[in-house]
A and B are shown apart, each in its own frame.
Chain A
Amino acid sequence: MGRTLAEKVWDDHVVRRAEGEPDLLFIDLHLLHEVTSPQAFDGLRMSGRTVRRTDLTIATEDHNTPTLDIDKPIADPVSRTQLETLRKNCAEFGVRLHPLGDVEQGVVHVVGPQLGLTQPGTTVVCGDSHTSTHGAFGALAFGIGTSQVEHVLATQTLPLAPFRTMAITVDGELPAGVTAKDLILAVIARIGTGGGQGYVIEYRGSAIEKLSMEARMTVCNMSIEAGARAGMIAPDRTTFDYLEGRPNAPVGADWDAALEYWKTLRTDDDAVFDHEVRIDANTLTPFVTWGTNPGQGAPLSSAVPDPASYADPSDRLAAEKALEYMGLSAGQPLREIAVDTVFVGSCTNGRIEDLRSAAAVLKGRKVADGVRMLVVPGSVRVALQAVEEGLDKVFTAAGAEWRHAGCSMCLGMNPDQLAPGERSASTSNRNFEGRQGKGGRTHLVSPQVAAATAVTGTLSAPADLSDVPVLTEV
């Protein structure tokens, strides 16, 4: 019987297989950031161990970094300590680090791909659940806990329990104005936040093949919100073109050998998935969340659902609690929900194409009175590219704030937070209670919806803007 893409990558990394034991897998790339690594380095120190493969390890600073005044000392002493701890650990153990102020600094899942480190057929881990992002390249990439971070540092391997395989096939054509974000939000609403549990999802079908590399990353990024171990997309011409010439991509004979291997990384025709889901891209529309988990979403054109409409009692209870927390009532049209803040950024939607699509909507328009809009590029490289294209000017002319790279309001570990009761339209990936600040209320949206929402002040798609005049003088 044939094998799936995920099974092929797994098999190619088995260091040791023994009866009654989990497979021991080799890890090709280990990404580190300041939040989930200090206790792991501590563990190494306590047991007198070293980092086995510093040449397969790289660190950056993202979660705690401020997005303003980055040349001044970090105000929050606890954040500062965490960053300083990472710097100390990387120096002591010989790990390459891109700290705040470095041109390669940024959200770890934006940095790996843009350096060309994330490659097809590799195993990629990071102490961060959104490591699933890297699966867009046909890598087997997943988030791990701090004990596992320590394990990988010490051994460059991980003992891993087997997974099941799921195919999500999206055929057809995404309608104009419908993005990868809308697609993945619709997938999660369909299969639920536990629907992917235990599975590695492979996204396939003609609509997936047409996606750019960045859009594929957006899709794979949110696999974890469906509970999946990882998400993957088979590498193809789009993948190879993206990688060629990147700083850490293979060159010369290595490039040729790599390409030959990468082309074998496709699910065999006779392979069988444990579970299959089919989605027709043509039926998709802009999608937003109304609740407090990423599965609680609906088409923007619809209304807040009535909890009573859920057959499952725990879904009903969850919906009731979510509406209470979100300050919404059943039947309220989603388009009438007014926001205070719009956040464009994160490892889901903080790459250059995301900024371009938000800027295209904002160009010549103004952010509505009383709405604050934050644009936070996913990395310094993304920021530089955006400046080169003049996107920063589009944002500031519209009245948005153009900030420095980092995770920022995605989880509000730095000063960028929602105040209690404040409501955001956010291009990030989690709408959990208090995620963006204590008492904050989050609606997950695409960059285009975020930009249109900033203009109208209520959840909107670009198509809703026809009656908002474009300012011609900009």
Chain B
Amino acid sequence: MEAFTTHTGRAVPLRRGNVDTDQIIPAHWLKKVTRNGFEDGLFEAWRKDEGFVLNAPERKGATVLVAGPDFGTGSSREHAVWALQNYGFKTVISARFADIFRGNSLKNGLLTVVLPQETVEALWALTEADPAAEITVDLVAREVRAEGVTAPFELDDNARWRLLEGLDDISLTLANEADIAAYEARRPSFKPSTARV
């Protein structure tokens, strides 16, 4: 996983709440068997509308998505995270994320930042008025900065450490292989097994 320390970039203000994963990447894109090539599927239905914010030429190359509350609700598809990353987003800011989406994002190094809705509104106002305005998401200081905005955000120490170091969860877990083996040894025999009967 790519490490995340601090990132500065232009933003896409997405004034919508409850952006579900079917909107982020529609189901027909899920037939791919790779982790890349999802950029054209990102917000596919909305992008058909010329007025959609992502289509504005001045938003090209933006890397910070500032969205309404309850971003990433719905299905567990990690493709939603890959689509955002394939398109070029490094971080998403919202007042509230759906749990599975949040977990998926942090596992892939896409930093999801929870800020109060008032701060999100301030970032919308700033970046709508000035598309060139930059937002800095600083994971070291756990702080979001932009013109007129300095907002601390929370992220638990463990998740932060893994992101800062770009650590792979599986290797971390396998370092505790002895614990897994010990658990397996004491697991009752009545537990389910998928062995054919």
Contact = CB atoms under 8 A, between A and B. Distances in A.
Interface of A: 15-16, 20-22, 24, 26, 28-29, 35-36, 38-39, 42, 47, 49, 52, 54-58, 63-64, 76, 78-79, 81-82, 85, 96, 116-119, 122, 127-129, 131, 142-148, 150-151, 154-157, 159, 161, 193-194, 197-198, 227, 229, 247-248, 250, 254-255, 257-258, 261, 293, 314, 317-318, 321, 411-413, 430, 432-435, 438
Nearest to B98: A227
Contacts of B35: 39, 42
Nearest to B96: A194
A254 B193 CA distance: 12
B76 A128 contact: yes
B98 A38 contact: no
A197 B99 CA distance: 7
A64 B31 contact: yes
A434 B194 contact: no
B32 A155 contact: no
Interface of B: 16-18, 20, 22-23, 26-28, 30-35, 45, 68-70, 73-79, 81, 96, 98-100, 103-104, 107-108, 156-158, 169-170, 172-174, 176, 179-180, 182-184, 187-197
Nearest to A412: B27
A129 B190 contact: no
5 contacts: A16-B179, A47-B170, A129-B74, A129-B100, A430-B74
B192 A248 contact: yes
By Cβ-Cβ distance, the 5 closest A-B pairs, closest first, are A145-B104, A38-B33, A145-B78, A143-B76, A258-B190
Nearest to A296: B18
Given A56-B192, A57-B194, A193 B70 contact: yes
A119 B193 CA distance: 11
Nearest to B181: A15
Contact of A317 (B17, B30, B70, B188): B17
A39 B33 contact: yes
A148 B103 contact: yes
Contacts of B20: 293, 430, 432
A119 B187 CA distance: 15
Nearest to B97: A197
Contact of A147 (B28, B107, B180, B188): B107
A158 B103 CA distance: 12
B45 A434 contact: yes
Contacts of B22: 411, 430, 432-435
A318 B28 contact: no
Given A20-B157, A55-B195, A250-B190, 20 more contacts: A15-B180, A35-B31, A56-B194, A58-B194, A64-B31, A78-B32, A81-B33, A146-B78, A147-B108, A148-B107, A151-B169, A151-B170, A155-B170, A159-B169, A197-B99, A258-B190, A411-B22, A411-B27, A413-B28, A432-B23
B82 to A, nearest CB: 8
A198 B170 contact: no
A433 B23 contact: yes
A55 B108 contact: no
B19 to A, nearest CB: 10
A122 B30 contact: no
A39 B100 contact: no
Given A81-B33, A117-B192, A434-B26, A151 B173 contact: yes
Given A227-B73, A314-B17, A21 B31 contact: no
A96 B96 contact: no
A181 B161 CA distance: 43
Contacts of A229: 99
Given A36-B76, A258-B190, A413 B170 contact: no
Contacts of B27: 63, 411-413, 435
Contact of A193 (B30, B73, B99, B103): B73
Contact of B176 (A16, A42, A82, A412): A16
B21 to A, nearest CB: 9
A23 to B, nearest CB: 11
Given A24-B173, A36-B76, A81-B33, A145 B190 contact: no
A261 B69 CA distance: 41
A92 to B, nearest CB: 14
Nearest to B99: A229
B190 A197 contact: no
B45 A433 contact: yes
A193 B74 CA distance: 9
Contacts of A49: 170
Contact of B169 (A20, A29, A147, A193): A147
Contact of B188 (A116, A145, A257): A257
B173 A257 contact: no
A293 to B, nearest CB: 6
A129 B98 CA distance: 11
- The winner among A79, A143, A155, A321 for most chain B CB atoms within 10 A is A155
A198 B192 CA distance: 28
A446 B77 CA distance: 26
Contacts of B16: 321
Nearest to A142: B100
B99 A198 contact: yes
B18 A193 contact: yes
Contacts of B75: 128-129, 143, 430
A416 to B, nearest CB: 12
A107 B189 CA distance: 28
Nearest to B174: A155
A245 to B, nearest CB: 11
A334 B41 CA distance: 34
Nearest to B26: A434
